[in-house]
Amino acid sequence: MKPATSEPFSLARRNPPGLRQNLSRFAFAVVLPALMRLLCRLSPVCRIPGTNLVIITGFDSTQEVYSRHVDFEVPYEERVKILRWQGFVLALQDTPEYHDMYDNISRLWQPADTTRVQEIARRTAETILAETWEELDFIQDLVKPVLMAIVEQHYGVTVPDEQLQPFFDGNLAGSGFLFSGPWITKKQRETGAAAIDGVWPVLDAAMAAACANPDPTTVLGRYYSGGPDPAFSEAKLRSALMTMIGGYLPTCANASGRIMDVLLSRKDAMQFMQEAVHAKQDDSVLTGLMEALRVNYIIPFLWRRAAQDTYLGEGTTRRRTVRKGKILAVSLPTAMYDRRRIEHPKRFDPGRSPAVRMVYGHQFHHCIGASIANTVLVEMFKAVLTRQPAPARKAKNRKNRWVGAYPWNLWLALSKASAAP
């Protein structure tokens, strides 16, 4: 009798299509946003009776929570342990350890890297689209290869073919697990542990390979080419690498699908983006991408915990007491629809003030990898929008699909040649 072997981690296999998945998608895409926007109008800081939960939906209250990172801390300690992630920079605590790790990550990123990432993303996307004529699965055939090309060519993390699926899926599932809230079910615990098993071995192997034969054109190669640095140990490098890749892959994969969903469903958004691409105005392209993400944000809640008894809305008529230990569910997508601060929030309006788009967080709680995400997104969408994308005709082998919170298959019909809008 052969010993049992575990299958490689697969996010799609763990979230099979069917009624349950469809109901979950409807609940998170339609029902939850509607409820949160109603709550925002009635009670932007809502303490749920009989629970330890406070739901934050108002724009001002959301910014206040993010700006007061000492009072409202990140409650992900247990999830970080399950992911075996030491030196977790996303804890976002104003401590010497955090600033040390932040500085280490910053040292790995050089000014010329943005140009290098831009070139990799552009070259990979254009090569794929040059070989594609009529139809393309936007997520699996374009987004995933572009993101992985940067992991391999820029970061220096080579992923063998047999490990590609568990590595990519593991990063996405690990991110989803990490940001799912402070309460952990048995199934979530098992999923998080299984997901990370597909990630750490690849990173460790890449570090060993770079140590033996460093390529100074990659992030890992630069680290090892420079010789030992007592202030930046391999353990810190391992955590920094996980922070960069484990943040970049899920964010860009999720954001790409949601942006395309907005463009396909709104003619004004698609027209704006195609005109910006045709005019070669990268700044306008980025503005359109950020507005699309404001319209269709990547995550329903981010979580915080009150470190002490405090208040929200001090000096206003809506002051609310928040007791120590209370869990705050902060709804960024709802805050970016708050009519008190955002005029006509349901409209796609690239001309609105960037200050109302908290796509990458706010103040101290701002995404450390925003520059790389922006660069990659701009290049991917510039490439695909030259092909006049439209929803592909439905067929049995071309079904659009979501897996958990992630857009997984998104079929596009493409023109054969670039054309002006």
Task: Give the pLDDT confidence score for residue 2 in this predicted structure.
Answer: 40
Percent of the chain past pLDDT 70, that is, above it, reads 94
Instruction: Please compute the mean of the pLDDT values over residues 35-42 and round it to a whole number.
Output: 97
**Average pLDDT, integer, range 392-408:** 85
| pLDDT at site 4 | 42
Which residue is associated with the tokens 């023109």?
415
Confidence of residue 417 (pLDDT cuts 50, 70, 90): low
Per-residue pLDDT, 94: 66
Higher pLDDT, 201 or 76: 201
Domain ranges across the chain: 17-413
Is residue 281 scored above 80 in pLDDT?
yes
Q: How far apart are CA 77 and CA 93, in angstroms?
A: 12
Residue predicted with more confidence, 194 or 231: 194
pLDDT at 420 over 50: no
15-19, 159-163, 245-249, 377-381: range with lowest mean pLDDT: 15-19
Q: Let me know: does 54 contact 48? Beta carbons within 8 Å.
A: yes
Joined tokens for residue 11? 């996010």
**pLDDT mean over 80-95:** 73
Please state the rounded mean pLDDT for residues 107-127.
Answer: 91
Ranges 36-40, 51-55, 403-407: which has the least confidence: 403-407
Q: What is the pLDDT of residue 233?
A: 87
* Percent helix / strand / coil, the chain, rounded to 5: 55, 10, 35
**How confident is the model over 186-207, as a mean pLDDT?**
96
Q: Based on the number of CB atoms within 10 Å of its own CB, is 315 exposed (0-12), middle (13-18) or buried (19 or more)?
A: exposed
Indicate whether 221 pLDDT > 80: yes
Q: How is residue 404 annotated by DSSP?
A: T
Q: What is the pLDDT of residue 395?
A: 67
pLDDT band at 336 (very low <50, low <70, confident <90, very high): very high
Between helix 113-130 and helix 370-385 the angle, nearest 10°, is 30
Mean pLDDT estimate for the chain = 91
pLDDT band at 3 (very low <50, low <70, confident <90, very high): very low
pLDDT confidence of residue 93 = 63
Among 146-155, 226-235, 266-275, 373-382, the range scoring the smallest mean pLDDT is 226-235
270 against 421, higher pLDDT: 270
- In this predicted structure, the answer to whether residue 192 has a pLDDT above a threshold of 60 is yes
For residues 159-187, average pLDDT: 93
Residues 6 or more apart whose CB falls under 8 angstroms from that of 231 comprise none
Q: Which of 87-96, 176-185, 231-240, 410-419 has the lowest mean pLDDT?
A: 87-96
Confidence of residue 419 (pLDDT cuts 50, 70, 90): very low
Identity of the residue numbered 237:
L
Burial of 102 (0-12, 13-18, 19+ CB in 10 A): middle
Q: What is the pLDDT, as a whole number, of residue 77? A: 85
- 303 SS3 class: strand
Cβ atoms 164, 170 nearer than 8 A: no
- Enumerate residues 6+ apart whose C-beta is below 8 A from 174: 83, 192, 195, 196, 199, 246, 250
Q: What is the pLDDT of residue 87?
A: 66
If one compares 284 and 8, the residue with the highest pLDDT of the two is: 284
What is the per-residue pLDDT across 300-323, written as a single tens digit (0 to 9) for each?
999 999 999 999 998 787 889 999
Q: Dmax of the chain from CA atoms?
A: 72
Q: Measured between alpha carbons, how far is 295 from 33 in angstroms, rounded to an integer?
A: 11
Q: Could you tell me which residue, 413 or 2, shows the higher pLDDT?
A: 413
Assigned CATH topology for domain 17-413: Cytochrome p450 (1.10.630)
Which residues lie across from 73 on neighbouring strands? 305
pLDDT number for residue 97: 72
